[in-house]
Amino acid sequence: MPQFDPTFFAPQLFWLLLTFVTLYVLMNTVALPKIGAVLEERQRKIDDNLDKAAHLKAEAEAAVAAYERALSESRAHAHAVIKEASDRLAHEADERNRALAARLAEQIKAGEVRINQAKTEALANVRDVAADVAGSIVARLVGSDADAGRLQTAVASALEEHGK
């Protein structure tokens, strides 16, 4: 077999050494750093983007939290305002009701007093009118004026007789 023929061992080893060392130098100084740089750059970019994404996500979450806090705060505030307003209105209505009732009661009382006065006045008038009427009737029937004192007593007794 030609593999075991030592004639070409020397040139084989020489060219192997030369090409292998050349390849090693080329790989070590040119090819591998280049590929490594490309891979590293890609990894860095990916990491950067992931970082950015995480940052944006955190920001978005903070915004959502702030929004929800603001929402719940304003809701609570609105509740408080509504409750305060309805309390105040209910109080006012109560007060007004009471005032109105008091005024009405007063007016009713005044009305009753007036009615009583009118009644007594009317009753007094009735006696005078009755005496006048009776006097006229007597004058017409008898032809002369009746005694005023007796007329008064007669009317009074007639009124009493009718329970007035």
Number of Cβ within a 10 Å radius of residue 155: 20
Under the criterion CB under 8 A, does residue 16 sit at the interface with another protein? Answer: yes
What Å distances lie between residue 143 and 149, 150, 151, 152, CA to CA? 18, 16, 15, 19
Q: How far is the CB of 51 from another protein (least distance, A)?
A: 17
The DSSP result for 43-92, as a single string, is HHHHHHHHHHHHHHHHHHHHHHHHHHHHHHHHHHHHHHHHHHHHHHHHHH
Q: How far is the CB of 49 from another protein (least distance, A)?
A: 11
Kindly indicate which of the ranges 31-39, 59-67, 99-107, 139-147 contains the residues binding another protein, using the contact rule CB under 8 A: 31-39
Q: How far is the CB of 36 from another protein (least distance, A)?
A: 7
Residues 39-58 that bind another protein (CB under 8 A): 39, 41-42, 45
**Nearest residue to 134 (alpha-carbon basis) of 148, 118, 114:** 148
Q: How far is the CB of 71 from another protein (least distance, A)?
A: 42
Cβ contact 131:150 at 8 Å: no
Under the criterion CB under 8 A, does residue 34 sit at the interface with another protein? Answer: yes
Q: List residues near another protein by CB under 8 A.
A: 1-4, 7-17, 19-20, 22-24, 26-28, 30-32, 34-39, 41-42, 45
